[in-house]
């Protein structure tokens, strides 16, 4: 949609903060007053950028069109804050958004570039949520260990990981345990997709023991598309029952 940076000033941002879009949400919020309610914002910064520009093009832009990338980032931050405030007005307690930052063994871009361009913009987003007394949840796939400390520094409350073993549960526990809340299923690559029930139960127990031993700090989660990765209903049940069985602090 943004093939040419000359069109940046003409780009039309959808009015996703329009209250009319949330009418169907209101009766749910009214019904579930006693529950923790989370509003969803998909593809908050990096992913939204590369959907607009194309993945390869954006990676080149980070070096060749830095000024335009930062300008687009500011537009998206402003847009996201409007949505956060809309959710806050509706009575949400948290915000959940997504930005995949890693491949299997490293970040998609250099940590230095990430800290220069993206870190200050995430901080503005997290601060906006906290200003409205909401927790911020972020999903990110891949090996992102190099920037978890940065996320903690700028106030991210909950990190949602579907993979933990490519960073190491022990590493996550020793370096970040008790500093941020981890929100995870058992590792979808190494464990859940094997449908090995003993391994799934053992991994659920390990996550609770190593990430949740800091007077909390871990929340159990299911994977939303189990059939897409060959996971059976029975395996999902085993995981959930294991989380219930061992999930006592």
Q: Is the dihedral angle over the CA atoms 241, 226, 202, 214 positive or is it negative?
A: negative
Write down the mean pLDDT value for the chain.
Answer: 96
pLDDT at 2 over 80: yes
As a three-state string, the secondary structure of 146-210 is: HHHHHHHHCCCCEEECCCCCCCCHHHHHHHHECCEEEEECCCCCCCHHHCCHHHHHHHHHHHHHH
The stretch 97-119 carries a mean pLDDT of 97
pTM for this predicted structure: 0.96
The stretch 28-48 carries a mean pLDDT of 93
The per-residue pLDDT for 83 is: 94
The stretch 59-75 carries a mean pLDDT of 98
Q: Return the minimum-mean-pLDDT range out of 43-47, 72-76, 144-148, 213-217.
A: 213-217
CA separation for the pair 168, 175 (Å, rounded)? 11
| Nearest partner of 73 among 57, 55, 52, judged by Cα | 52
The per-residue pLDDT for 215 is: 87
Q: What percent of the chain has pLDDT over 90?
A: 90
26 compared with 196, residue with greater pLDDT:
196
The model's pLDDT over 214-233, given as tens digits with 9 standing for 90+, comes to: 988 999 999 999 999 999 99
The model's pLDDT over 123-158, given as tens digits with 9 standing for 90+, comes to: 999 999 999 999 999 999 999 999 999 999 999 999
The per-residue pLDDT for 249 is: 65
CA separation for the pair 206, 208 (Å, rounded)? 5
CA separation for the pair 77, 12 (Å, rounded)? 15
At 33, the pLDDT band (50, 70, 90 cuts) reads: confident
Q: What six digits make up the tokens of 244?
A: 């219930």
CA separation for the pair 94, 202 (Å, rounded)? 30
The per-residue pLDDT for 68 is: 98
Query: Which letter does DSSP use for residue 239 in this model?
Result: H
At 25, the pLDDT band (50, 70, 90 cuts) reads: confident
Q: What six digits make up the tokens of 72?
A: 């687009």
Q: What six digits make up the tokens of 99?
A: 């930005």
């Amino acid at each position: 949609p943004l093939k040419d940076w000359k069109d940046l000033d003409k780009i039309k941002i959808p009015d996703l903060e329009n209250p009319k879009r949330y009418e169907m949400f209101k009766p749910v919020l009214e019904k579930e007053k006693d529950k923790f309610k989370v509003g969803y914002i998909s593809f908050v910064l990096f992913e939204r950028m590369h959907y607009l520009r194309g993945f390869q093009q954006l990676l080149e832009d980070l070096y060749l069109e830095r000024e335009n990338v930062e300008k687009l980032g500011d537009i998206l931050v402003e847009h996201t804050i409007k949505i956060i405030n809309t959710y806050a007005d509706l009575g949400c307690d948290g915000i959940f958004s997504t930005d995949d930052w890693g491949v299997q063994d490293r970040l998609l871009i250099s940590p230095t570039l990430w800290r220069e361009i993206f870190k200050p913009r995430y901080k503005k987003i997290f601060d906006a949520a906290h200003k409205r007394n909401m927790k911020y949840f972020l999903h990110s796939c891949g090996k992102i260990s190099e920037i978890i400390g940065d996320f903690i520094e700028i106030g991210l409350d909950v990190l949602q990981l579907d993979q933990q073993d490519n960073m190491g549960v022990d590493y996550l526990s020793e370096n970040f345990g008790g500093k941020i809340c981890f929100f995870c299923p058992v590792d979808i690559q190494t464990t859940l997709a094997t449908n090995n029930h003993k391994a799934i139960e053992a991994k659920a127990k390990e996550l609770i023991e190593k990430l949740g031993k800091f007077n909390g700090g871990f929340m159990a989660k299911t994977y939303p598309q189990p059939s897409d990765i060959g996971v059976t209903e029975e395996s999902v049940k085993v995981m959930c029952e294991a989380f219930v069985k061992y999930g006592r602090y």
